[in-house]
Chains A and B, each alone.
Chain A
């Protein structure tokens, strides 16, 4: 059991840190530390292209697809330094963290050749077509359907249906769509995983304004949208396995970057508490310490998860991770607001502009919902890790 990085790895850390710092103090100083997911999107897409050209976007990928074949430890280090530098959250993360790894792992050579490099270079952005109005927690209830047609462009999937809560669809060039391709099937059977271009006549994106005032997520309508027959990942009808595989990538190295973001947030709360006197309140101090403890432990659990990644098995720390961080961050949001006090309730500008701490407070309410609600996560932990009976379904 070893928790330290080697001197070579620490040298690698210094290298990334200095490059990132140059970028964030120089050409991209204007987007440093942005909390909102959509604010200054044009500049952030530009930043991600720079990141891609410098081959810092997906360092764990093979070199031939734009990565650096970086070791797990190096990926961890880069993710930590990225967040430490104050570089903004990645608009392209659905491509780099979900679509890309899925295609790399479950796709074929043709798909890898076509899709991976543009993701790595920040040239093509992705969104995730999972949830539907009637398929949220119960994802296998998807009704979006696709049929294979032989037209003038060769065989193509023709897609009809609606997705919802589709984050960053307004910036996306492609969407990975979970849909039903076999008539009359129910549940996980008969589902396919299709890669669908967004910029076409059959696709309509309608933003949904959310609690923070931002519109990061959207409704996406498919009305006879088309994609090539060969852009189906895995065999047609066997997409459920791929869809679940994608979710497993969420437990990867990006968790470390996420934690550095949390760390930055906790630091902002500490600074705010010190400047307005809340830091001397014994109850606030207890809660600050508790938040710090939770954050540290998250890091240790993530290191456990990553250390086990090579074995392919999922440990208890991985199954409980989402529940842990989501509950933690919701509490952090509440702490932020209690530290801010009544002034935190005031907008700081026109157009529902909120200061960072109140924004965090509102945004953190999503954490226990998206990517599997806390209630679903508890079912998963109880059933998969503790072996308790599965929930009965009402429909089959």
Chain B
């Protein structure tokens, strides 16, 4: 047991922090969110080709570096600090997490290899127009008829879907002789597929809404997938989202600390008032708890991948708790940041609003805290039959 970064992990963190703060500061972010992609494609190329972050946590067999979830969490945390809107979370944190749960197969591995190199980015289509969590929310169905495979339905809240090269779609498998779910890849240019960019309250990252109307150009990555497999992929993805939330909440805490250390009223910096100090202290409690939760959950993911049978239950628990705490916590911290900044925190020009909106967007992504608390209540055994004491 050594629950602290290794030297290598520290080095990855330092490199990522330095790179992100130099290249993705507030000004760059403002520039990015006015662009069509919401991020700078040339910077993404540097990230994938020179830094190798897309492949960092993917297996060596598909051209990745073979490191784990802890390393990916480190990078996502640093990107979260900058509210980076590029495709790492969507392509590696979300889509690849589902792919890695599917059995190794030629088509799957070929796609992972393209994602690892950064040659392509993927986006995950797993929920419908209400953006709910869980298998029931899947709104796309796979059929098979004389023309071959056919995909119909709607997927929404597809993170980074407006720029992805390929969609990883979780579909209900309605083909004769099949059951459960299928995981398929669909090219963004496939016939019958309509991709609408959806501007969101969180201006740092839009969504896409996908309409599948007899889409034929479907690559079957995994068939007869049971619901648990999809759920476990989503659980891993929840840890990725939480890592990004951690970085963002720490950054908005830092921003606020620095503001209250400079702002003078009544002849004192306002950070000398206990009303301000105490609220910041509470924000830090949330951030530190988030840090403990994120890296513990990341370790659990790595153990789960090494030994899925032994650690599946633990993954379910860790993924739920980390999403609960980081979603609710980030929202709290970002909300307090606006309050402590006063009027300026409410302006469009100042970054506090961007953090607050990112907090709200990631709050619902892959399930709001209320949903995951209910999962936990069940995991805790609140519904188990027990003799009355």
Are B274 and A391 neighbours in the complex by a CB distance under 8 Å? yes
Are A317 and B288 neighbours in the complex by a CB distance under 8 Å? yes
CA distance A141 to B284 in the complex (A): 29
CA distance A297 to B322 in the complex (A): 9
User: Shortest CB–CB separation between residue A76 and chain B, in angstroms?
Assistant: 7
Are A323 and B281 neighbours in the complex by a CB distance under 8 Å? yes
- With A271-B386, A378-B278 already in contact, the answer to whether A388 and B257 are too (CB < 8 A) is yes
Whether a CB of chain A sits under 8 angstroms from the CB of B277 is yes
Are A285 and B374 neighbours in the complex by a CB distance under 8 Å? yes
Whether a CB of chain A sits under 8 angstroms from the CB of B138 is no
- With A297-B325, A317-B291 already in contact, the answer to whether A386 and B281 are too (CB < 8 A) is yes
Whether a CB of chain B sits under 8 angstroms from the CB of A381 is yes
Are A289 and B376 neighbours in the complex by a CB distance under 8 Å? yes
User: Shortest CB–CB separation between residue A4 and chain B, in angstroms?
Assistant: 7
User: Shortest CB–CB separation between residue B378 and chain A, in angstroms?
Assistant: 9
- With A270-B382, A275-B389, A293-B376 already in contact, the answer to whether A301 and B289 are too (CB < 8 A) is yes
Whether a CB of chain A sits under 8 angstroms from the CB of B1 is yes
For window 70-129 of A, CB contacts with B under 8 Å fall at: 73, 76
CA distance A272 to B261 in the complex (A): 48
What sequence of 0s and 1s flags, for each residue 234-262 of chain B, a beta carbon within 8 Å of any chain A beta carbon?
Answer: 00000000000000000000000100110
Nearest chain-B residue to A271 (Cβ)?
A: B389
Are A308 and B4 neighbours in the complex by a CB distance under 8 Å? yes
CA distance A308 to B4 in the complex (A): 7
For window 268-284 of B, CB contacts with A under 8 Å fall at: 268-269, 271-272, 274, 276-278, 280-282, 284
User: Shortest CB–CB separation between residue A369 and chain B, in angstroms?
Assistant: 16
Measured between beta carbons, the chain B residues less than 8 angstroms from A192 are: none
Binds A, one of B111-119, B149-157, B293-301, B354-362: B293-301
Q: What is the interface residue range for chain B against chain A?
A: 35 or more
Nearest chain-B residue to A268 (Cβ)?
A: B389
What sequence of 0s and 1s flags, for each residue 341-382 of chain B, a beta carbon within 8 Å of any chain A beta carbon?
Answer: 000000000000000000000000000001011111100111
Are B382 and A3 neighbours in the complex by a CB distance under 8 Å? no
Whether a CB of chain A sits under 8 angstroms from the CB of B50 is no
Contact of B284 among A1, A273, A292, A385 (CB under 8 A): A385
- With A316-B288, A379-B277 already in contact, the answer to whether A293 and B377 are too (CB < 8 A) is no
Are B288 and A320 neighbours in the complex by a CB distance under 8 Å? yes
- Consensus secondary structure, chain B interface: helix
Whether a CB of chain B sits under 8 angstroms from the CB of A288 is yes
Whether a CB of chain B sits under 8 angstroms from the CB of A279 is yes
- With A290-B373, A381-B281 already in contact, the answer to whether A297 and B292 are too (CB < 8 A) is yes
What sequence of 0s and 1s flags, for each residue 1-30 of chain B, a beta carbon within 8 Å of any chain A beta carbon?
Answer: 111111001000000000000000000000
Measured between beta carbons, the chain A residues less than 8 angstroms from B381 are: 270
User: Shortest CB–CB separation between residue A315 and chain B, in angstroms?
Assistant: 8
Are B281 and A382 neighbours in the complex by a CB distance under 8 Å? yes
Q: What is the interface residue range for chain A against chain B?
A: 35 or more
User: Shortest CB–CB separation between residue A74 and chain B, in angstroms?
Assistant: 10
Nearest chain-A residue to B317 (Cβ)?
A: A296
Measured between beta carbons, the chain B residues less than 8 angstroms from A271 are: 386, 389
Are B257 and A386 neighbours in the complex by a CB distance under 8 Å? yes
Measured between beta carbons, the chain B residues less than 8 angstroms from A270 are: 380-382
Contact of B374 among A275, A289, A381, A383 (CB under 8 A): A289
Are A381 and B284 neighbours in the complex by a CB distance under 8 Å? yes
Are A3 and B261 neighbours in the complex by a CB distance under 8 Å? no
Nearest chain-B residue to A308 (Cβ)?
A: B4
CA distance A375 to B280 in the complex (A): 12
Contact of B299 among A3, A282, A327 (CB under 8 A): A3
- With A289-B324, A389-B269 already in contact, the answer to whether A378 and B373 are too (CB < 8 A) is no
Q: Contacts A289-B375, A324-B285 known; list 5 others, CB within 8 Å.
A: A1-B6, A293-B321, A320-B285, A378-B277, A381-B280
Ordered by A's residue number, 13 sampled pairs between the chains whose C-beta atoms are within 8 Å are A274-B386, A279-B383, A288-B380, A290-B373, A303-B292, A304-B3, A307-B3, A320-B289, A323-B282, A324-B285, A375-B274, A378-B274, A382-B277
Chain B residues close to A by CB (< 8 Å): 1-6, 9, 70, 257, 260-261, 268-269, 271-272, 274, 276-278, 280-282, 284-285, 287-289, 291-293, 295-296, 298-300, 303, 317, 321, 324-325, 370, 372-377, 380-384, 386, 388-389
In the A-B complex, the 3 residue pairs with the closest CB atoms: A382-B277, A289-B373, A381-B281
